[in-house]
Each structure stands twice: as structure tokens, then as C-alpha cells.
Amino acid sequence: MSNDKSVFLALALVAGAVNSPVMAAPLPCEVKLAQAAIPKSVYFLPESQAAQLQTTLISKGSVRLKPGGDYSKSLTIKLTSNQALYGLAGTKLPAVIIPEGTSNAILSGVSPVNISFEGSTKPIQDNCINRISNSKVIANNVRLENNLFTDLSNVAITSDTSKTGYLKNNRFIRTMVHGAYPAINIAGDISKQSQDNLFIWTNILTPYADGIIINNQKNIRFIGLDAEGWNWGKKAIYPGMMNVANTDFLSVFMANGGDNYNKTGQYFNLDATNIVLQGMAISATKNPGIILGNAVENLVSIATRSIGLDQFNTSTQIIDIDKDYKKLITINAQTIQPENITDTAKNILADVLQIDKDNYDTWQKPVFSAIPDPAGAKWQSNLAAKPDSAGTIQALINKNGIAELNAGIYYISKPLLLNAGQGIIGAGADKTVIIAKSPDIDLIAGVNHLDVKTTATAFVLADLTLQGGLNGINHSAAGSGQSAQYNQITLSHVTIRNMANAGILLDSIYAWDNNFIDHSNFYRCKTGIKQRPNPKYAGGDEPGMSYMDKNVFYQNQFIENGIAIDMQAKRANNLNAFINSQFKNNQQNLIIQNSNSTFFANSVFETVSTSTQPLLVGNNLTGFVNSSFTSNQPGNALFNGGAYCNDCSFNNNTANTGVIVAPTSKNSYFVNNNLSNPTPQPLDTGVVVNSNFTNDAAIPVINRLFVNKIAKPF
């Protein structure tokens, strides 16, 4: 048995024993943000009246500002309950204060000097802070509870509630900090009132000193974490990129990067009681990458790379499963066979992972709207006779930089060309539609022609539908140039329908790097997102390599496409994320080649019965967390590549859909999963922990070992 490569560990839960948690409803402000990037129905205040911004906000309740405008000459703005302030593309603001007791407020699409939460008596709760750039968040001595932060770009976070207040149940979706230090600094009180805060996709990019500092938390979780160098100067207080102390529970899922410049840095400096590290792809340096303090009782790691470890407490229990993807289990550095694991070790593993699961169970499931269809079912009728608006729209772009279109149907005979910083904003994806007069032309194309020096560039598309062309957005060498690096774009509330080739095409450019794409839809396209490097690219940092790094897709839908995502990299992609997204009735969902730490969080997958392809084809480990899968494919495996499913649910509602992983799939991991109508799974190699992947009545309790290529009790 000890030489059988198919041995895997399974702590099986009896079928039906997992209770479905009560999910919270989306916040009212979250529902409003789902309707438009910058709602045209809201009162508009021009730049020339910036000094009147506060009085206008008080009198009107909701105010819309000019995209990219400058309102920084106004005095400090106070945002209170039920008020909303909308900008877009980094509209500049002075400092913004959100006082105690504020709820259901919206701050979106702006670059304020800072955002300060103030007052310690009443909770500040149920607010939405969205698309904030080049700012900082300050929350000292406040009660900050159940707020949603989305797309904090170049925004550091500081919170000190050690004297009074707390942070509870706040979600931070896409936090990117470049250069500032500490990037994230959260200090709670010694009674650990602060808890249940969740960071989904966090990028700590080259801070001069400290990266992340966490202190006095009951628990904290990070899904998708990247760091590329830290402590560059001599002002750092802590040695690690992430420093956690006086905390009961820490969970990190899918971490990436490393100290690739100095090659000396510690990644984790941890002093939390219980720690779970899953799916780590971190580069080792000259020094140990993990330092465990005296308070650490248990560390569980699954599918991590060796980056070196030092521990101060010799009684700390360290359980490693499949480190470096080797089929090994080690406890305190001693390799053992699965059948020889002690009950003590199994109980530690089950208990620590159950804490992780309990923290996810209250995360509300996403709500999706119908795909906008402003042109109706007869959108293709008599296209040749339709008036051509291409020249008019292009003239608006060239004149204003960002063209604003009213509601209506616009037909174009040639691509609309966007140079750096240019864009188009409609009246809503259900109201403004641009239709190609022929299926062989692109709707939007880059025109930077950057072929020599790599240059970061951006564009703006919001509140409109693109329909019926070859590619919705074409970023190729012919137009954008081989050295075009698209960075910090604004792509929000855009529906891309009926494209003959791709919704978004990246072909032989330099990159899409650090972008946030929200509330957008890819519907009935041959491919939703298609990535193609220059065929001549042979390696290194070169034009034309077309990598995709750290792109976050939030509240997106991929419906009835040929292929939802076709990412085929040569230079490896890193930490792309799909959060609160839906994949439904695509002929094939995911082709992900040469990509590190790609993950899907709180997303929904439903396969179409006519598909003959797996849901996932990939050659690197792909993460899925708190996601649900419904299979309508008789006899076809969902995964034909390495998948790490953490707290996922599988509903096999069609006959003969019991296979989740293809027998040839390597290195698959299923932790805290629930399978309805469970059947034995033909895993070749992999791990099943705290998951009910068997319907064998002889296994009514947890802590069973399985061997061979089916889940059969040892």
C-alpha cells in the first residue's frame, strides 16, 4: 500500500450531514451598484461647481460627477446615511469623512485624498466603497461592520481599534497597494472583538517598508494574495511581508509571488493560534519564508511549496499534505503513510479545517440580473440599411477623450479606436447598444501602436452593450502594439454579445496587468476572453508575450458561449481572479494554460448537457472557493486538470454525472466540500478532506482512509 501513488487521505462526512447555512442578502447599496457604473438618473454637478459639492449632496442625496473630473478644490466632504457620490475613471475629490452611524452610503469611482471613518459610539455599517484609486482608508477607534469595499487601487488601509471599536464582517474585494507602507495595518483590541473580515484578492506591490500587519483579531482570511518584494528600505518594523500576531485563526488560500528582487525576505511572520495555508505558489529565498511564533498551536498546509520554516515553539503541530505536490503527508517533519495517521492528528486536521469552513458559510451567494438586450430579438434585421454612426462616435472620442452616448441603438461600419485614456460611456447596458454592421469587424480596438517601449495605458468603457462583431474589444499587435500594457482600465457594466471570435481578444501585445472588470457579461460569443501570445515569443521580458496578471473579474456572467475563458499563456499568468461570477451553459467553460494561482471565489457553474468537454482544462493548480457546481453532463468529468476546491458544493442532478475528476487528472484537492447524491470518485492522485465523496452506508462517521482509484474504505 505504501508505494501506491493513488493513496489519498479522506476525512469523509456522511452524506446529508452538512447543513446549508443561512445566507445574508446583498446590501441595498450593493444592489444599486449593480445597476450602473455611473447612473444617469442621478443629479449631475459640473466641475465648475465643485465648491457646492457638499451642499448639493445634502440637498439632492445622490450626486453624479464628471468622469475623470477634478473636484478637489471643494472642502472636505462628509458622506452620511443614504447618500451616494458617483464618479468614474478616478474623479478627484478632497478628503471624505464617513461619520459614526452612517449606513447605506455609496462612494464610487473616485480618487479622494483619503477616506476617514470617524466616531466610536454608533456602528458604521452596510455601506459600499467602490472603485477607489490613489487614496487611503483610515478607520481608527470606530465600529466598522458589514461594509463592502471593492476595487481599492493604490489604496493603503489603516485601522487601529485597540482602544475602542472593532472591525467585523467587512469584505475587501480587490485591494492593491503599490509602494505605500504599511500596505494594510489592522490592530484590534486585546479582547479580539474584531473578526470575520475577509480579503479577496490582495496585491502588495513593492512597499518601501512593511507590507501587511495584523494584530488582535479573532480571525481573518485572505483569498488570493500576491506580493512582489517588500521592505525595500530601512524603515520596516517587521521582517515578513505578512505579519500576524495575537490572533486566534488565520486562513490564506492561493498565495503567489515572493521576494524576487532582494531574494532574502520572509513571506509569513505568523503568531496566530491556528493557521491554514492552502495552494501556495511562493518563491523561496535565502531565508526561511515562514516564521512561526510561540503562540502557534497548529499549522495545516495543503499543496504548498517549500519556502523554509522556523518555529519558536517546539510543541507546535505542523501538518503538511502534498508539499511541493509530492504525494506525502508529514507531521512535524516526519513522513507517514495515510493509514498510519493518529486520531489526534486527524482530529487536529478536521477541527482546523472546520473553522475555515464555518467562516465561509455566511458569505452570501451572488445575485445575477438578466443579460441586457437593448436591441431586441431582431437586432440583425437589415443591417446594411442602418445609418452608420462610426464617424460621429469617433469624433466625440477624439474631441472629448471620453464620449458619452445617450440611450439608443448605434450602428458602426468600422471599429471605434481608443487611444490611451479615451473611452465611451453609455446610458446603461440595457439602454445604449453599439452594433457592428458586419460580423467581420471589431467593435472596439486599441490604436496606441506601442511597439518599442513598454507603456502602461488605460481605456474607459462603461454602461453600454457591444453586439454582433468579430471581437468586442480587440487588443492586438496591429493596433495596440506589441508593447501595450493595459493597466488600471475602467471596464464596468458592459455587455458583450454575439461576437464571432471573442468578447475580449489579447493577441501579441505586452499585457493586461492589474485591472478590475465588474458587472460585465459575455453572452453567445465564440469565446468570452481569448489570450494569445505572439507565436514567436521564446521567453523573457519581451513585447508580444501577452501575459495576463492580476486581473479581477467581479460580478461577471459568461452565458452560452462556445468557450467562456481561453487563457493560453507562454510567459506565465499570475493571480487572475473571478469573484461572484456565473458560468452557465457554455460549451466549454475554462481553458487555463500556464497560469499560476488563478482562482474562482463565490461563483456559480452550471454545465450544459450538450457539452462533451470538461469544465476545466489546465496544467497548473486552479483554485475554487465557496463555489457551487451543477452538472448536466452525463458521464463527463468536470475537471481535467489540477483543481483545488475549498468549501464547494457539487450537485449532480443528471443521471451518470457522478464523475468530478477525470481519472487522468493529477493533483486535485477537495477540502470541506459537499456532494449531493455522492458516488465513489475515481481520483488518480489527490486529497479529499472533510468531504462526503462516498455514499457508502458503512462509513457513517468522519476520519476514514481510502486507497486505490475509488473512494473505498481502507
Phi, psi of 346 (to 5 degrees): -65, -40
Least confident of 222-236, 396-410, 629-643: 629-643
* Vertex 447 angle, CA 442 and 451, to 5°: 125
What does the pLDDT read at residue 704? 32
- Residues 329-343 have a mean pLDDT of 83
Alpha helix positions (H), 361-481: 390-400
- Residues 166-191 have a mean pLDDT of 97
Q: Please, which pLDDT band fits residue 709 given cuts at 50, 70 and 90?
A: very low
| The three three-digit cell numbers of residue 580, written as one number | 461572484
Q: Please, which pLDDT band fits residue 342 given cuts at 50, 70 and 90?
A: confident
Beta bridge partners of 90: none
- pLDDT tens track for 107-119: 999 999 999 999 9
- What is the rounded distance in angstroms from the CA atom of residue 11 to the CA atom of residue 25? 32
- What is the rounded distance in angstroms from the CA atom of residue 560 to the CA atom of residue 545? 29
Q: Please, which pLDDT band fits residue 713 given cuts at 50, 70 and 90?
A: very low
What residues have CB less than 8 Å from 238, skipping those under 6 apart? 210, 213, 269
Average pLDDT over all residues of the chain: 89
Output b/e per residue, 691-705; b: 16+ Cβ within 10 A: bbbbbbeebeebebb
The three-state (H, E, C) secondary structure of 445-457, written as one string = EECCCCCCCCEEE
- Residue (of 28, 134, 128) closest to 89 by Cα position: 134
Q: Which residue carries 477616506 as its cell?
A: 115
Most confidently predicted of 503-507, 586-590, 652-656: 503-507
Give the DSSP letter of residue 537: -
Considering only the C-alpha atoms of the chain, give the largest distance between any 2 of them, rounded to a whole number of Å: 79
Going from the C-alpha of 591 to that of each of 201, 414, 508, 614, the distances in angstroms are 21, 30, 18, 9
- Residues 339-363 have a mean pLDDT of 85
What does the pLDDT read at residue 702? 30
Q: Is the CB of residue 313 less than 8 Å from the CB of residue 670?
A: no
Using DSSP, state whether 179 is helix, strand or coil.
Answer: coil
What does the pLDDT read at residue 441? 97
| The three three-digit cell numbers of residue 471, written as one number | 471581437
| The three three-digit cell numbers of residue 217, written as one number | 483579531
387: preceding bond cis by omega (within 30 degrees)? no
* Vertex 634 angle, CA 633 and 639, to 5°: 55
- What is the rounded distance in angstroms from the CA atom of residue 661 to the CA atom of residue 499? 31
Residue 381: CB atoms within 10 Å: 10
Q: Is the CB of residue 444 less than 8 Å from the CB of residue 466?
A: yes
Write down the pTM of the prediction. 0.94
Phi, psi of 352 (to 5 degrees): -65, -40
Give the DSSP letter of residue 141: S
- What is the rounded distance in angstroms from the CA atom of residue 145 to the CA atom of residue 130? 16
What does the pLDDT read at residue 198? 96
pLDDT at 156 over 70: yes
The share of the chain scoring above pLDDT 70, in percent, equals 89
- pLDDT tens track for 621-647: 999 999 998 877 666 778 887 899 999
- What is the rounded distance in angstroms from the CA atom of residue 418 to the CA atom of residue 424? 9
